[in-house]
Copies of this chain bind each other. A is one copy, B any other.
């Protein structure tokens, strides 16, 4: 039957560990590419939509639940797998403060490890290209949207927000230039709270999701 082939759904889910941008990978237990690391994913179910399949296969393989999930691209080169497979790939963000909690709750799934996106092991299929494209999309998008908030708790200091930008973009930013640029954003709302601790107290901010300029996807329009 023309047009009939297998459809998989996979997810590149980013989190921060300190200043490193990390993704979880799953070690394959069967051929093709047995023993290699691959993106979390699985087959699209007959009775589930693409977004649901992405969330389900991510949870099934890693125990993780994304703070933000968005479709990235459909990969369908003829030779990307021994059998013909079209992969609908999502990219996602996970707040760093939730990573450990979710891993513990899921009972630390086997065959899953986190890797620095700039120091990946050899990956199965075309997954190295897919991760590179996902990282490119993240870096591109962080410049003109509130996407950085998907890597932070609900409230954060400007220094914490700058750290996210620095980790994603892979370069240092001047603190006072950053503050000037970012404080002009109407979506960044100062709260009454302050972060106290070993440093001098710093104002806490939150993002106003109503002013979101992220591509909402076709289903929320």
Measured CB to CB, the residues of A under 8 A from B are 1-8, 43-50, 53, 71, 73-78, 84-86, 88, 129-130, 132-133, 136-137, 140, 144, 215, 217-219, 221
Number of copies: 2
Query: Which residue of B3, B71, B84, B129 contacts A73 across the interface (Cβ within 8 Å)?
Result: B71
B-side contacts of A73, CB under 8 Å: 71, 217-218
Q: Please name the residue on chain B nearest to A213 by beta carbon.
A: B140
Determine the distance from Cα of A196 to Cα of B131 in the docked complex, in whole angstroms: 50
Task: Evaluate whether A46 and B133 lie within 8 angstroms (CB atoms) in the complex, with A71-B74, A73-B71, A74-B74 already known.
Answer: no
Are B218 and A44 in touch, CB under 8 angstroms?
no
Say whether B2 contacts A45, CB under 8 Å: yes
- New A-B pairs, 15, CB < 8 Å, besides A5-B7, A7-B7: A2-B45, A4-B5, A7-B86, A48-B78, A49-B78, A50-B76, A50-B86, A73-B217, A74-B74, A129-B218, A129-B219, A129-B221, A132-B218, A132-B221, A133-B217
- A201 shortest CB reach to chain B, Å: 38
A5 to B8, CA, bound (A): 11
Let me know if B76 and A133 touch, CB within 8 A.
Answer: no
Q: In whole angstroms, how far apart are the Cα atoms of A88 and B49 in the complex? A: 14
Question: How would you classify the secondary structure of chain A's contact residues: helix, strand, loop or mixed?
Answer: mixed
A176, B85: Cα distance in complex, Å: 52
Given A6-B1, A6-B4, A7-B7, does the pair A76, B47 have CB atoms closer than 8 Å?
Answer: no
Q: How far is the CA of A130 from the CA of B215 in the complex (A)?
A: 14
Central interface residue in A43, A47, A71, A218, by most chain B CB within 10 Å: A218
> Which of B48, B75, B78 has a CB less than 8 Å from the CB of A218?
B75
Task: Specify the chain B residue showing the minimal Cβ separation from A130.
Answer: B218
Q: Are B5 and A44 in contact (CB under 8 A)?
A: yes
CB-based contact A86/B129 at 8 Å: no
Partner of A43, one of B3, B84, B129, B140: B3
Can you pick out 13 interface pairs between chain A and chain B where the beta carbons lie within 8 Å of each other? A1-B6, A2-B43, A3-B7, A7-B7, A46-B84, A50-B74, A71-B73, A74-B88, A75-B218, A130-B218, A132-B218, A133-B217, A136-B221
In whole Å, how far is A23's beta carbon from the nearest beta carbon of chain B? 16
